[in-house]
Structure 1
Amino acid sequence: MAFEAFTLSHVFEKPFHPKDKFNIQCVDCHPPNIYLGTKQGTVQHLTLPSTLNSDPSPAREGNARKLSNSPVLRLRLAPPFNHLLALCNRAVTVHDMFSLEAKPGFKKIQNVAQFELSLRDDAVWVVTCPSQRRLIRLHALGADRWDVLREIALVQEPVELAVEGDSVCVGTGDRYLLCDLTTGRREELLQHGHGSRRQVLVGAVAGAGEFLINGPGGLGLCVLASGMCQRPPLPWPQDVLAACVCFPYALSLQAHELQVYSLLDQQCKQTVRLSGALGLCSTAGGALVFTDRAVLRLSAVPGRQQIQALVREERLGEALLLLEGGHSLHTPEERKELQRSITCRAGFQHFFQGRFTDAKDLFIEGQLDPRELLQLFPDLLPTLPADFPPREEHRAAARELRELWRSDTDSELRYLGFLGDFLRAVRDGGSPAAAEEADSALLWLYVRTADSDGLLRLLAQPNACKLRACESILVKDGRFFALGQLYRSHGKHQEAIQTWVDIVDGVRRDTSGAEVLGLIVSTLSRLEDRDTVWTHAAWTLRNDQELGVQIFTRRSAEDHFPPEDVLALLETYPRAHTLYLEFLIYESSSEEAGHHTLLAQAYVSLSLQDPEDAETRGKLRRLLWDSQRYDVSAVYERLKPTPLHQEKAIVLGRRGDHIGALTLLVRDSPDTTAAEEYCLRLAGQDLLLSLLNIYLTTEGRSTAALDLLNKYALELSGEKVLDALPEHWSVQLIADYLVGAMRGTIHQSRMRTMQKALEQARLLRHKALWMQASHSMLRLDGTQSCDGCHNALTAPPFARTAGGALLHLDCANHSATASPLCAGPHSDA
């Protein structure tokens, strides 16, 4: 069935009778009233039984009145006043719309070739074209009179005109003009070049501020009152008799047919066959076409039916264009629903033809329910609800598609790739529609295409996969690592962990997830079910202590397990035990003495197990130096039988036995610099002297003592050093020390002398300023004011700063910068 924008029905037909002369010349309409003007000078009133577009019944004949023997060339209605205006015998007359009687008080407007009405909110204007005159005349129409308002001169005699608002479009013998009725300004639009005056057509688009004209070369042009064209031209025939606009369509009438053009894409949408058509009259929601003895009605098909017809014919682009452009045809809710439906249907067109980019964009724009796409894939049918209705119009195309997939694997992979792209786009867009089916389909797709990375990414995030259906898919394909992820994403942590434990223990084989143990730890560290954590913690520690301890160290601060319980569990796992103690002390800032003591003892044990482990010994030393919480006696007892001499020395120092610590470092430690570093860390001069004495009393350490003297000549007191040195050491042996010590002493003496001289100079400068200020005279005459409080100096006692500022004595005493260099007795106030 061909697309129909309008339906044709008969409104009125005058039966033929040889003696009855009745030939329709013009028509005008104001529903439910239709008025016919005949060539015999008669006006015929018709009444429709209902509104023009809802009832196909023919019109009833009403009054008829003979106006003249000349044809009635034009009828126009002014409903605000119930006026009927008729152009007959080159004169415009006014009649009552219902009785057709002439209105008294209205004089005929003589010598009129054409006229047109403008129904405004505040007035009714009549524009007339005087015969053989190059002007148009504007009249104001009232209830019982009319007045001439303005004349607008033209370059040529007008042939046809139309009025819209304040603008009038005039067609002359070779051009079209625009005139402003309020200002009288005129503007030439274009030259048409029509050879016949009958081809000069002008129509107003009611309420749009637009005119429809028959342009040159068989083009219908829509021109705004500003003179601009906002639409492309309509390619209609050359021999157009009449034209009008019924948005979003333009109707062009010829003798034997009427063509319907879309103003949205300028294409001819419908052709209505007619016989003997003479003219066209625009109405609300359609148009009237009249022949010599009949009137036919073109009624617009409801917009939804038009769009559905285009969709049935697979003219989806036209349907969308009509939907977008024909806003007045639908309610906002209908438009939104239709747009989604048509957009999705257009997407399926592209999908079946393999144009995936266009299909994806249209599916997303139309908010396609993913299930409508999933039902095309046989393997996904079990994931869909049993009551989900299939698309009947896709059945044939779906069968062809499946046959193609059976014979062409590459084609199937391309369609599967598109399915994945679309589902990911829907998922990323946050669409909640059919989330379970969409995520389940994605899981199946990743398994089907062996995309392990995509599968794990899906399951690592919150998802809406159907648990039982997806569980079956993963088990069937041996994806046990992903199965655990599926369990975990659905809150089944016990099942997830047990599945991964089976993989590690070799019960189930799956190489797709290399970090199974790490994932078990990550899950346990966030799990609130403590029974499950304790159940699997020991197993994890047996496999990897460093990973296993993270079950307890990665937990949130609010969810930590009691440290004593954890330490009890970790007693048989020394590496994990040490790491947990480090976590308690350095991250949780534990001040428990037991924790610090246990960590120190653990470091000792690890250092003894691997003497080459410098990192652990470094940690032990830092702990012994920095911590104030460990049990010194317990740690020393643990260190005492070990060869960890530097560590024993640190603990002895913590007990206050620095001499013992230094003696241990000098006599037992293989590191010759350890004792020196010990003294420097504690920053004590006495310790350096003690170390010197130990060196001097220890056999074979004379060279170390001499090096210590030379290195720390400034820090070691010369008097105490000389008392400690053996008597048999010569001056030449300690010459370097003596030179260094004397140089330091002399330097310090000179610095003290220089500082004393600078202070004396400063004192002299202040004395000079004081003397200068105190021996000068200052007259106080009541005009001076205190620079501190800005009040007048009215009494002799005052103070003056070195800079010359005058202050009250109280202000000077409270000022941090002022000093009273002179006082009242030195003035002559």
Structure 2
Amino acid sequence: MSHIAFRPTLVLRQSMTGTEKGKACIQCLEVCGKNLYIGGKDSVIQHCVLLDPGKPGLAVQEVKSRSLGAKGLMSQMKGLPFLNHLLILCGGSISAYHMFSLELVPTLPKINNVSSFTVDDTAVLTQSISVELFTMSSKKGVISIYRVFMDKWERLREVSLPQEPLVMAVDGTCLCMAMNKKHVLYDHKSGVTLDLFPQESSKQMAIVKAVGNGEFLLNGPGSLGMFVTRYGTSNRPPVPWPEGVLAAVAHLPYLLTLQSDGLNVYSMLDQHLKQTISMHRTKGLLSTPDGVFVFTEREVYNLSPVPPEDQIEALLQDERVDEALKLLQGVKNQLPKDAYKSLQKLVACAAGFIKFNQGCFSEAKDLLIKGAVDPREIIRLYPGFAPLGGEFKAQLPAVFNAIDLHLLSQADHPTFQRFQEFLVEFLTAVRGTAQSHSWEQEADCALLRLHVEIGDEAALIQLLSSLNHCLLSASVPYLEQHERFFALGLLYQSHGEDEKAVQTWMNIADLHTDPSNPNVYGHIVTFLSQQKSRKLVWQFADWVLQRNQEVGIQIFTETADSQETVFEDDVKFLTKYPKALLLYLEHLVNGLKSREEKQHTLLATTYTAHALRALGRGDNWDVAESTTRRKLQQFLRESPFYDSAQVKEAVVGTALHLEEAILHGRSGEHEKALQVLVKEAKDHQAAEDYCKMVSTGRSREDSQWLFLTLLKVYLASPQLVIAAVDLLNRNATAFDLVDVLQTLPSSWSLQLVGRFLSDSVRWIIHNRRMGHLEKSVIQVEHLRLKATWIRATRGMIKVERSQICQRCGRLLTEPTFLRSLKGELIHIHCRRT
């Protein structure tokens, strides 16, 4: 417990003579600002002035005393400062006295038959011109409501209750009452009653106190201090207090309970007992804005609250962080906004360091960020992390029992590594925020070292791949010492020293000295391909292409520069790298869909050179066909942009006969193309496929002419008779029978062309019959439509004035209409359209 929330100070001790011993002197108490009113025995009221309020050694000075001359005990007093009235309940009557002269106010007559009263404190605090007074009558179950003014009071109404209330508290229009058997809430404006919970009158003292903001404190069942709002709900957990509580008051954020042997102080924030103050024969409690007053039979004590700052500091010194944070939140509304923010920052920093030393890293990080702590305050705690900009002086006080990370790093490295991971998380969280705005270099240099020491290569690369403020003079030697050369290149890159970055990565690729990134070559290619300026590309292009032309060409194909501006220079440079040149041209033509004749022609001649080089080396025919030659043939067939004459010069006279045939065909020289395929390539199937390919999309006459031309090429050589016969037998439907008979030599026997003749005649007869069948189908369809039209126009048509044309929307007139095939009534001109 050992928490001091209030400091008790003796205010007044009444002396006792021999005849007064054993008699109770102080009956009730009231405090208004510096004015202290004590109601004593024999109806004597004593007015004192508090001296130096809020300081230790509080004293009073008696101003005046007066005997009321009434019989009975003085049980209640209530001051109304803005009216200068002091209401006193004595002998069952309420009287109004002047607060300073203690003279009876003549215009305010006594209110008799009163057992207790209460005043709406909200009106007192707002200093209204009047206040509502609620009295419980000595008659059972009656509450009277008065409005008290400066010179009069008005009786507003009486409220009859089914049971007699024991105690009562008021907040606005809501009355909270403890009756014999239950607690109730009653709205005296609307008349709505809400039952709460039973009242254990035989076991405990009835307590009902207004806490403020529409909230009440009640002595609930099972010795619980219950908080209830005016709507019957509870926004706070109950406070467990001991049996025998005589009185209770709330002085936010604490709750004080009075027993015969002293006081207990509970926190309304966590419902725990915080402080115990021993006193003997205590009688009553009184809460004021400045503190709490306690009185015994002859003594008055002031419980002055310890300033929140001092309470929080004491809790932090005891490392009771959670309690300190709860208390800070609890006193938020009691402090000025600027003072609270300043205190919150200091508390968060101190609490964060305590949690840090306790190893509660998640909470420590949140608190240190909330406290906007200087990152250097934490970095300095770690061994080997010297300040970059000279000597650093810590601004925050040292935490008691702070852990020594220097010793921990040597004695318990796993635990020390957890502290390192915390620093990484903290610096990562504050990086780029206002908290590290002035100390980016210290934070980033510390992160770099931590990633290396922990061995988190991914985090190190992520740090250096983005914008960072690592100091080169401190970071470069450290990375070289720990052989993090790939990260070193990233550091150079992030600081704009691209040439040093590429040179560093090249050394890794050549010497294999950094296993953190096995594909350093690929990273270099990607980096160079992303350069807006080609100066760096040209500087390292030879090294990149010498290692791998297929991958290295990306520095040209993926570059950000426009291809039109650099095409000539690229081609000139790539001539010494044939494979890379081919990939570059394919990227322009196929990838970028270029239509430049120069680029298409160069790609065709490059394909040709590769194909001839493969054939010259004696490469397998199928392999060459399936790669470069296949691409060349497809390109020659599909591309409409290359210069066929220039490509033909490169192809004619070589072993690329099929490619030569394609080029002849592109020029319309189909007979030459067939001559090449038949006589030079000696590929009869290719010649036949050529005829089929060229015939696609053309008229039947053109197709017949092309196949007849191939037949004539075969017939011109006696060695190709069998090829001619096979051509006729396989493609009988592609020839005109009459032209073939006129072309064939007279020496050929009927048996030799019998199959061709049979297939041709069958095809001719089939076509003729299909023609007759199509003609018949068309005639039938025509007759069907004609019959439908006749049926639609033959019958009588009744036309009414309301009918309209179903096409143009105008009214139908006689005889300018008819019925359509669909049965619609339409105008004649609409039918024509």
- Give the conservation status (yes or no) of the 8 Å contact 2:315–2:321: yes
Give the alignment of 1:75-114 within 5 angstroms. 75-79=77-81, 81-114=83-116
- Give the count of matched residue pairs: 807
- Give the conservation status (yes or no) of the 8 Å contact 2:239–2:271: yes
Instruction: Specify the alignment match of 2:677 in structure 1.
Output: 665
Instruction: Specify the alignment match of 2:597 in structure 1.
Output: 593
What is the CA distance between 1:410 and its match in structure 2? 3.0
CA distance in 2, matches of 1:353, 1:241: 42
The one-letter amino acid of 2:195's match is: E
Give the alignment of 1:525-544 within 5 angstroms. 525-544=529-548
CA distance in 2, matches of 1:251, 1:75: 21
Instruction: Specify the alignment match of 1:818 in structure 2.
Output: none
What is the CA distance between 1:494 and its match in structure 2? 1.3
- Give the conservation status (yes or no) of the 8 Å contact 2:178–2:199: no
1:407 aligns with 2:411: yes
CA distance in 2, matches of 1:120, 1:440: 59
Instruction: Specify the alignment match of 1:811 in structure 2.
Output: 830
CA distance in 2, matches of 1:807, 1:376: 99
Range 113-122 or range 316-325, more displaced: 113-122
The one-letter amino acid of 1:707's match is: D
Give the alignment of 1:623-642 within 5 angstroms. 623-642=635-654
Instruction: Specify the alignment match of 1:524 in structure 2.
Output: 528
Instruction: Specify the alignment match of 1:203 in structure 2.
Output: 209
Give the alignment of 1:243-282 within 5 angstroms. 243-274=248-279, 277-282=282-287
**Which residue of 200, 204, 215 corresponds with 1:192?**
200
Cα RMSD (Å): 3.5
- Give the conservation status (yes or no) of the 8 Å contact 1:193–1:216: no
Instruction: Specify the alignment match of 1:821 in structure 2.
Output: none
SS state at 1:502 partner: helix
Give the alignment of 1:380-529 within 5 angstroms. 380-383=385-388, 386-387=391-392, 389=394, 391-394=396-399, 397-399=402-404, 401-424=405-428, 434-506=439-511, 509-529=513-533
Normalised TM-score (structure 1) = 0.88
Instruction: Specify the alignment match of 2:729 in structure 1.
Output: 710
Range 673-682 or range 695-704, more displaced: 695-704
The one-letter amino acid of 1:200's match is: A
SS state at 1:278 partner: strand
CA distance in 2, matches of 1:410, 1:404: 9
What is the CA distance between 1:484 and its match in structure 2? 0.8
SS state at 1:389 partner: coil
**Which residue of 569, 573, 588 corresponds with 1:565?**
569
What is the CA distance between 1:75 and its match in structure 2? 0.6
Instruction: Specify the alignment match of 1:323 in structure 2.
Output: 328
**Which residue of 247, 269, 281 corresponds with 1:242?**
247
1:129 aligns with 2:133: no
Range 466-475 or range 770-779, more displaced: 770-779
Instruction: Specify the alignment match of 1:617 in structure 2.
Output: 629
**Which residue of 131, 150, 163 corresponds with 2:158?**
150
CA distance in 2, matches of 1:743, 1:16: 148
Q: Return closer, same or farther for 1:775/1:251 CA change in 2, 3 Å cut-off.
A: closer
Give the alignment of 1:26-105 within 5 angstroms. 26-48=28-50, 58-69=59-70, 70-79=72-81, 81-105=83-107
The one-letter amino acid of 2:768's match is: S
SS state at 1:662 partner: helix
Range 479-488 or range 343-352, more displaced: 343-352
Q: Return closer, same or farther for 1:688/1:98 CA change in 2, 3 Å cut-off.
A: farther
1:290 aligns with 2:298: no
Give the alignment of 1:367-382 within 5 angstroms. 369-382=374-387
Encode CA deviations 1:138-177: one digit per residue, 9 max, x unaligned.
Answer: 344444133151233343x444332233333334566544
CA distance in 2, matches of 1:393, 1:319: 18
- Give the conservation status (yes or no) of the 8 Å contact 1:160–1:172: yes
What is the CA distance between 1:623 and its match in structure 2? 1.9
CA distance in 2, matches of 1:153, 1:783: 83
Instruction: Specify the alignment match of 2:307 in structure 1.
Output: 302
Unpaired runs of at least 5, structure 1 = 816-829
CA distance in 1, matches of 2:342, 2:406: 30
CA distance in 2, matches of 1:139, 1:781: 91
What is the CA distance between 1:256 and its match in structure 2? 4.7
Q: Return closer, same or farther for 1:670/1:693 CA change in 2, 3 Å cut-off.
A: closer
SS state at 1:245 partner: strand
Encode CA deviations 1:232-289: one digit per residue, 9 max, x unaligned.
Answer: 3323343433220011111123345332210111112223344554321111142222
The one-letter amino acid of 1:66's match is: S
1:648 aligns with 2:646: no
What is the CA distance between 1:297 and its match in structure 2? 2.8
**Which residue of 757, 777, 793 corresponds with 1:738?**
757
- Give the conservation status (yes or no) of the 8 Å contact 1:37–1:43: yes
- Give the conservation status (yes or no) of the 8 Å contact 1:287–1:298: yes
The one-letter amino acid of 2:385's match is: L
Instruction: Specify the alignment match of 1:824 in structure 2.
Output: none
Range 409-418 or range 626-635, more displaced: 409-418
Q: Return closer, same or farther for 1:759/1:214 CA change in 2, 3 Å cut-off.
A: closer
What is the CA distance between 1:739 and its match in structure 2? 3.6
CA distance in 2, matches of 1:447, 1:773: 95
CA distance in 2, matches of 1:560, 1:376: 59
- Give the conservation status (yes or no) of the 8 Å contact 2:184–2:193: no
- Give the conservation status (yes or no) of the 8 Å contact 1:497–1:520: yes
Q: Return closer, same or farther for 1:273/1:496 CA change in 2, 3 Å cut-off.
A: same
Instruction: Specify the alignment match of 1:750 in structure 2.
Output: 769
Q: Return closer, same or farther for 1:589/1:61 CA change in 2, 3 Å cut-off.
A: same
SS state at 1:25 partner: strand
Encode CA deviations 1:647-667: one digit per residue, 9 max, x unaligned.
Answer: 111122223221111111122
Q: Return closer, same or farther for 1:561/1:438 CA change in 2, 3 Å cut-off.
A: farther
Range 257-266 or range 775-784, more displaced: 775-784
Instruction: Specify the alignment match of 2:713 in structure 1.
Output: 694
The one-letter amino acid of 2:554's match is: Q
Q: Return closer, same or farther for 1:68/1:215 CA change in 2, 3 Å cut-off.
A: farther
- Give the conservation status (yes or no) of the 8 Å contact 1:176–1:192: no
The one-letter amino acid of 1:538's match is: D
SS state at 1:714 partner: helix
SS state at 2:378 partner: helix
Range 762-771 or range 313-322, more displaced: 762-771
CA distance in 2, matches of 1:343, 1:743: 102
1:725 aligns with 2:729: no
SS state at 1:564 partner: helix
Unpaired runs of at least 5, structure 2 = 616-622, 696-701
- Give the conservation status (yes or no) of the 8 Å contact 2:51–2:61: yes
The one-letter amino acid of 1:153's match is: L
What is the CA distance between 1:502 and its match in structure 2? 3.0
CA distance in 1, matches of 2:817, 2:170: 99
CA distance in 2, matches of 1:356, 1:495: 39
1:7 aligns with 2:7: yes
CA distance in 1, matches of 2:716, 2:177: 129
CA distance in 1, matches of 2:739, 2:780: 37
- Give the conservation status (yes or no) of the 8 Å contact 1:24–1:291: yes
Instruction: Specify the alignment match of 1:825 in structure 2.
Output: none
- Give the conservation status (yes or no) of the 8 Å contact 1:370–1:423: yes
Q: Return closer, same or farther for 1:332/1:681 CA change in 2, 3 Å cut-off.
A: farther
The one-letter amino acid of 1:280's match is: L
- Give the conservation status (yes or no) of the 8 Å contact 1:692–1:708: yes
SS state at 2:468 partner: coil
